[in-house]
Amino acid sequence: MALSTTVSQSKRIKRKAPRGFLKRIFKRQKPHLRLESSCDLLVHLNCLLFIRRLAEESRANACKNKCGIIKDQHVLAAAKVILKKSRG
């Protein structure tokens, strides 16, 4: 039959999504709006993709400067580009 809305099988999930944290953030920013239950999972997906893009861009910046370590200026430059892209 239909599975329950809660996660079953193997109670432990690797890389859990901080659903409560995301819900709280949304509520803090837009208290007059409501967020559906499955939406925070998509928000989490969006965050993952954003972080992934940011990380790849930062890594490219660091490699461009021939640096073995990612510094904050690499991250800053990468953030400028990626934030613009993910403005929607």
Partner 1 sequence: MVVPESALKPVPAPQVVQSPSGESSRGSLELQLPELKPPTTLAPGLLLALGKRKQRLRLSEFQQGVDQELPLSPGPLTEPHGNAGASSLTSSLNLALATPPVPQSVQRPGLARRPPTRRAVDVGAFLQDLQDTSVALALPGDSLRTPVATLPTDTVLEDTQPFSQPLIGRSPNVRHSLPCPSSSAERTVGRRTQSSGPRLQNNSPGRPDQLLVGKAEEVDALAVGFPNTSNSSSGEDGLQPLQDGVGEEAEDVMEESLSMSDEEEAAGAQGSARAEEPKTHKEGTEAEGSWGATEAKELEGPSRDKDTAGRTGSPELTSITLEFQQARQLEFLEPAQPTSTAVGLFRQQSIPAPSLPPEPLSARRPPRARTAGPRLRQDPYKTGLSHYAKLFSFYTKMPMEKAALEMVEKCLDKYFQHLCDDLEVFAAHAGRKTVRPEDLELLLRRQGLVTDQVSLHVLVERHLPLQYRQLLIPCAFSGNTVFPAQ
Size of the site for partner 1 (CB under 8 A): 60
**Interacting residues of 19 by C-beta distance below 8 A, sequence separation 6+:** 40, 41, 44
DSSP 66: T
- Least distance (Å) from partner 1 to the CB of residue 16? 8
Grouping H, G, I as helix, E, B as strand and the rest as coil, residue 79 is: helix
Q: Beta-carbon neighbour count of residue 77 at 10 Å?
A: 16
Does 87 bind partner 1 (CB under 8 A)? Our answer is: yes
26-65 positions binding partner 1, by CB under 8 A: 26, 29-30, 32-36, 38-39, 41-52, 54-56, 58-59, 62
Give whole-number Cα distances, 23 to 35, 37, 85, in Å. Answer: 7, 9, 24
User: Given the rule CB under 8 A, which residues bind partner 1?
Assistant: 1-3, 5, 7-9, 13-18, 21-22, 24-26, 29-30, 32-36, 38-39, 41-52, 54-56, 58-59, 62, 68-72, 74-76, 79, 82-83, 85-88
